[in-house]
Structure 1
Amino acid sequence: MAPSQTLYPRSTLKRIIKAHSNRALSKNVDIMIFLDYTLFLQDLMREASIRSKQSGERGISARSVRRVRDMTLRKFKG
């Protein structure tokens, strides 16, 4: 990826967040939300992998993700 490209459109994300929160936003709030989202996905996939190995599945399935979804969401609820 070229250095000038970004992973997500910062201005669009800030506009969406501001519309939903009705609050003032700090300068790097979009980066913090993006990092929190990636940590959530990483934890979700790790837990789903553990669950699928425990149940004898060969890979991660939608069923194993659904099983750990609520527990992972509770961890990240602020």
Structure 2
Amino acid sequence: MAAGQKLYPRATVKKIVKAHSKCNVSKNVDVMIFLDYVLFMQTLVKEAAIDSKQAGERGISAKSIQKVAPDALSKFKG
């Protein structure tokens, strides 16, 4: 990726969020959404790793992720 190139159009993300929430959004709402997403994924993978080790699996499987997903989603529900 070239220097200075953006990963996604910030204005488009803001428009989508504003359309779904029907509220005004702050200047850095896209950054906050990304950080919340990263925290969610970190929690999901950590919980799935714990679950898979308790089940005696070698690695994280789709089954372990599906098992912990509802709990992880409930933690991040706004």
Normalised TM-score (structure 1):
0.90
Q: Hey, what does 2:66 align to over in structure 1?
A: 66
Shift of 1:57: 0.7
Shift of 1:12: 1.4
Shift of 1:15: 1.2
1:50-71 deviation per Cα after TM superposition (whole angstroms, max 9, x unaligned)? 1111101111111000010011
- 1:17-36 superposed matches below 5 A: 17-36=17-36
1:18-72 deviation per Cα after TM superposition (whole angstroms, max 9, x unaligned)? 1111111111111101110111011101100111111011111110000100111
Aligned-CA RMSD value: 1.2
Normalised TM-score (structure 2):
0.90
**Following the alignment from structure 2 to structure 1, what is the Cα–Cα distance between the partners of residues 67 and 39?**
18
Q: Hey, what does 1:55 align to over in structure 2?
A: 55
Structure 1 segments (4+ residues) deviating >2 Å: 5-9
The aligned length equals 78
Q: Greater CA deviation, 29-38 or 4-13?
A: 4-13
Q: What amino acid is aligned across from residue 72 of structure 2 in structure 1? A: T
Gaps of 5+ in 1: none
